[in-house]
Amino acid sequence: MSPPSNMGPVETLDMFDNKGPFDAQLQTDLAFNEKIAAGIVAPQTEEIALDLKSAPTDDAPPRTICVFCGASSGNSPVFMEAARDLAREFHKQNIKLVYGGGTVGLMGEIARTLVSLSGPNSVHGIIPEPLVVFEQGPDSKAPSKNGGKHGVPDEATYGTTTIVEDMHTRKQMMAQAVMKGGPGSGFIALPGGYGTLEELMEVVTWNQLGIHGRGTIVLNIEGYWDGLLSWVDNSIGAGFVRESNRSIIVPAKTAQEAVEFLSDYKPADGRFKLAWKTL
């Protein structure tokens, strides 16, 4: 059906760096775009999307999917079961998980389940230090191996965990992991709260701006994302989102559909053709 490991040191995305006044950077970007229009340099916006059309090879990087989801389990058992279903689908297709590093709620459930099936190298959690006390249960920490303030969750249960300084670095590293992944890598949103919605909409916006060409799937368990999908309809009707960008967000009903839709994903026709120096 088609839709309508350990990581190294934290890398810095140039587009988030504060290297100078905004106006100066804007002038640089405008000049770069003018060169593209004049044919002096080639646009870079489609490079990432191109690998989505390539068939996997033996030496291709592993397929990596970032999952956004809640640190709560929700009021219905179907949400936790959906997290387990997604982990089982990842295991079947040898997919690596990168996620927000929590050990409670849906985050903990998908990580534990996938590690139990595929081993610790299949999961990489990335969590800001201030959130450790909220998104990690008291029984999940092992003694710190590097003498840091916080211990990290048991690797045999939750896979690799990286503790970072802030939310921006967390999201940056998760996105980088997806962009370095093989064909069919992308983003899936399970149910969650404000944080899940914010993470989801940021990668949706990046897609619209041409920063990346990876697919974004909402796993619509019991209609959880119906409100968001209705908002997209309303925004298109009101003239704030292009009809040709509707398919940036792809709804799926099952874990199998979500993974399959990422494999088949084609970037939307209405995306901006902007030149970004990174991602």
- Taking the C-alpha atoms of residue 193 and residue 178, their distance in angstroms, rounded to an integer, is 22
Domain 63-264 is of which CATH architecture?
Answer: 3-Layer(aba) Sandwich (3.40)
Instruction: Kindly list the distances between the CA atom of residue 101 and the CA atoms of 165, 256, 266, in Å, as whole numbers in the listed order.
Output: 13, 23, 29
Close Cβ partners of 173 (under 8 Å, ≥ 6 residues apart) = 7, 10, 11, 98, 126, 162, 164
Output b/e per residue, 23-43; b: 16+ Cβ within 10 A.
eeeeeeeeebeeebeeeeeeb
Place of tokens 């190294």: 8
Number of alpha helices (DSSP H) and beta strands (DSSP E) in the chain: 10, 9
Task: Look at residue 270 and give its three-state secondary structure.
Answer: coil
Q: In degrees, to the nearest 5, what angle opens at C-alpha 96 toward C-alphas 94 and 100? A: 150
Tokens of 77: 């058992």
Contact 82, 219 (CB under 8 A): yes
Tens digit of each residue's pLDDT, the chain (279 residues): 555 533 333 333 333 344 433 344 334 444 434 443 444 333 333 333 333 333 445 678 999 999 999 999 999 999 999 999 999 999 999 999 999 999 999 999 999 999 999 999 999 999 999 888 776 665 555 444 444 455 678 899 999 999 999 999 999 999 999 999 999 999 999 999 999 999 999 999 999 999 999 999 999 999 999 999 999 999 999 999 999 999 999 999 999 999 999 999 999 999 988 888 766
Contact 61, 183 (CB under 8 A): no
How does DSSP assign 245-261, residue by residue? GGGGEEEESSHHHHHHH
User: Is residue 122 packed enough to be buried (19+ CB in 10 Å), middle (13-18) or exposed (0-12)?
Assistant: buried
Q: How many CA atoms lie within 13 A of 259 on its CB side?
A: 21
The pTM (predicted TM-score) of the whole model is 0.77
Position 139 scores a pLDDT of: 53
User: Is residue 165 packed enough to be buried (19+ CB in 10 Å), middle (13-18) or exposed (0-12)?
Assistant: exposed
- Give, for 152, the enclosing helix (H) or strand (E): strand 152-153
